[in-house]
Amino acid sequence: MNCEEYRAAIATDPSFDGGAGHLNECADCQLYRSEMQALDQKINRALAIDVPELQMPELPELSTSKSDNVTTLRKRSWAPPTWFAMAATIVVAALLGVRLIGTGIEHESLADEILAHLDGEPNALRVTDVAITDARLNTVVPADIAHMDHSAGLITYAQTCPIRGYDVPHLVIQGERGPVTILLMPEENISGPQRLSGENVNGVILPVGDGSIAIIGERDERLDRIEESVLKSVAWRT
Amino acid sequence: MHSNKAATERRQRFDRQVGVYHQDMYRYAAWLSRDKTIAEDVVQEALLRAWKSLDALRDDSSAKQWLLTIVRRENARYFERKRLETVDIDNLTASQAALLAEQPDEELDEMRRAIYELEDDYREPLVLQVLMGFSTNEIAEQMGLKQGAVLTRLHRARAKLKDQMAKS
């Protein structure tokens, strides 16, 4: 390690404790280190502003019935021809840019719950180029529920999450504008595609067989291609 | 009966996490927004959102990062809603100036002012590292950046502060 490398390391983190060999022989770097550590102490003091007493907001009562009744996905028989016919219809609709706005009263709460869920799991929405492993994907999307391959895009997050009382696979792929959330919901039957829109996000819930798939990205993300690839990469096994 | 017990335990868990991290939430919000009043609003909204989605926090050891991420998103929402103009340090509102309220220690005043004037891109990683104790990897995750970008910003932030303090 030379002076330049050592100083670069100290300047990004004055608590850096590597480079002892160089430090022992370089008085200039010892001085630089002391200066940066003193600077950091001042920064710390300056940042530690007084905090007013905690004012807890009025917290709404939340029903615990859903979490009490969380069940695993039921297996359901489903003939492949039906799946292929319906998936093909949806893919064609997506390719043609057909966007049906759901009348949505019956399922409005599904969209709300999905958006609320996204807000509650912000760590999922990080920008990264590190894909999850096949083993992780297979754990979150078990073979007896659905098959999903990596063709939908770079899958960077997978977690099983409760949505409307069911544990469902929550996946994130990296879109052009940022992370795109995908929720596979084999138990959520909807009559037609539903748009959903939150602050900075837009998305759609697509009916797929007896279930549905939600796809939500940044507001300016082009979802049509992602919708197409997700629909191609997912097949229910329930 | 079972529901009541679950609700009580949920509330206790929430209070425990908020009790530990409330100060961090407020300070992070204050340095993001550079405004004490906005920071209080942001923290209120963040607490509400955290309460509603507490079940998504699977591991309490991740609570700090989880809560600060919610604060960050609430702050972004606040500024998107209000479309606030850029802060002019020579023309601050009372609430903005409160963050720079004069201290008996002149050097502390100078440093606080220098941090206040840093660009958001430099100030935020510094707050996360120095005040919150995040590693550069955690900062990269929090801000959606590559680790290299975080290192560059931290380096430049300190260089700017060092220069600023040398001038004063």
The enclosing H or E element of A147 equals strand A146-148
Reduced to 3 states (helix: H, G, I; strand: E, B; else coil), residue A141 is: coil
- The mean pLDDT value for B72-90 works out to 72
pLDDT at B152: 92
pLDDT at A134: 84
Question: Which residues in chain B are closer than 8 Å to A54, comparing Cβ atoms?
Answer: 18-19, 22
Chain B: residue whose CA lies nearest to A10: B155
B50 within a domain of the structure (yes/no): yes
Q: Based on the fold, state whether residues B81 and B150 are members of the same structural domain.
A: no
The answer to whether A59 contacts B51, with C-beta atoms less than 8 Å apart, is: yes
A209 Rama class: left (phi>0) / alpha (psi -120 to 50) / beta: left
A75 within a domain of the structure (yes/no): no
pLDDT at B44: 94
**CATH number of the domain where residue A88 is located:** 3.40.1000
What is the Cα A67 distance to its own chain's centre?
Answer: 21
The answer to whether B99 contacts A44, with C-beta atoms less than 8 Å apart, is: no
Chain A: residue whose CA lies nearest to B116: A47
pLDDT at A102: 37
Q: pLDDT (tens digit, 9 = 90+) per residue, B10-21?
A: 899 999 888 899
Question: For residue A7, what are the domain limits?
Answer: 3-47
Question: Which residues in chain B are closer than 8 Å to A65, comparing Cβ atoms?
Answer: 3
- The mean pLDDT value for B87-113 works out to 75
Q: Based on the fold, state whether residues B79 and B112 are members of the same structural domain.
A: no
B93 within a domain of the structure (yes/no): no
Q: Based on the fold, state whether residues B81 and B31 are members of the same structural domain.
A: yes
A124 within a domain of the structure (yes/no): yes
pLDDT-above-70 percentage for chain A: 79
Choose the weakest-confidence range: B36-40, B71-75, B83-87: B83-87
- The mean pLDDT value for A71-93 works out to 46
> Using 50, 70 and 90 to split pLDDT, how confident is the model at A40?
very high
ipTM of this complex prediction, to 2 decimal places: 0.88
Structural domain tally of chain A?
A: 2
A58 within a domain of the structure (yes/no): no
pLDDT surpassing 70 at residue A84:
no
- The mean pLDDT value for B100-117 works out to 84
Q: Based on the fold, state whether residues A175 and A108 are members of the same structural domain.
A: yes
Reduced to 3 states (helix: H, G, I; strand: E, B; else coil), residue A34 is: helix
Crossing angle between the packed helical segments B2-33 and B63-82, to the nearest 10 degrees: 60
Looking at chain B, the number of H-run helices and the number of E-run strands are 8, 0
**Exposure string over A165-189, b if 16+ CB within 10 A, otherwise e:** ebbbbbbbbbbeebbbbbbbbbbbe
Question: For residue B18, what are the domain limits?
Answer: 1-88
pLDDT at A125: 74
The answer to whether B165 contacts A45, with C-beta atoms less than 8 Å apart, is: no
> Using 50, 70 and 90 to split pLDDT, how confident is the model at A238?
low
Burial of A143 (C-beta count, 10 Å sphere; 0-12/13-18/19+):
exposed
pLDDT surpassing 70 at residue B82:
no
Chain A: residue whose CA lies nearest to B153: A12
Reduced to 3 states (helix: H, G, I; strand: E, B; else coil), residue A155 is: strand
The per-residue DSSP string of B41-55 comes to HHHHHHHHHHHHTGG
pLDDT at B22: 92
> Using 50, 70 and 90 to split pLDDT, how confident is the model at B124?
very high
Question: Which residues in chain A are closer than 8 Å to B10, comparing Cβ atoms?
Answer: 62, 64
The answer to whether B131 contacts A178, with C-beta atoms less than 8 Å apart, is: no
Q: Based on the fold, state whether residues A11 and A118 are members of the same structural domain.
A: no
The answer to whether B155 contacts A61, with C-beta atoms less than 8 Å apart, is: no
The answer to whether A64 contacts B10, with C-beta atoms less than 8 Å apart, is: yes
Q: Based on the fold, state whether residues A103 and A155 are members of the same structural domain.
A: yes
pLDDT surpassing 60 at residue A211:
yes
The encoded tokens of residue B48 equal 């509400």
In whole numbers, what is the pLDDT of chain A averaged over residues?
A: 77
pLDDT at A160: 86
> Using 50, 70 and 90 to split pLDDT, how confident is the model at A225?
confident
Contact A216, A234 (CB under 8 A): no
Q: pLDDT (tens digit, 9 = 90+) per residue, A153-201?
A: 888 888 888 888 788 999 999 888 788 999 999 888 888 888 888 777 8
Contact A114, A163 (CB under 8 A): yes
pLDDT at A72: 34
Of A48, A54, A122, the CB nearest to B69: A122
Chain A: residue whose CA lies nearest to B164: A39
**Looking at the whole model, is its pTM more than 0.90?**
no
Question: Which residues in chain A are closer than 8 Å to B11, comparing Cβ atoms?
Answer: 59
State the CB neighbour count (10 A cutoff) for residue B163: 11
Q: Based on the fold, state whether residues A12 and A97 are members of the same structural domain.
A: no
Contact A235, A146 (CB under 8 A): yes
> Using 50, 70 and 90 to split pLDDT, how confident is the model at A31?
very high
pLDDT at B98: 72
How far, in Å, CA of B56 to CA of A122, rounded?
Answer: 10
Name residues whose C-beta falls within 8 Å of residue B24's C-beta, 6 or more positions apart in sequence: B64, B67, B68, B131, B132
Long-range contacts from B96-104, C-beta under 8 angstroms, 24+ separation? B96/B34, B96/B35, B96/B36, B98/B36, B98/B37, B99/A49, B99/B30, B99/B34, B99/B35, B99/B36
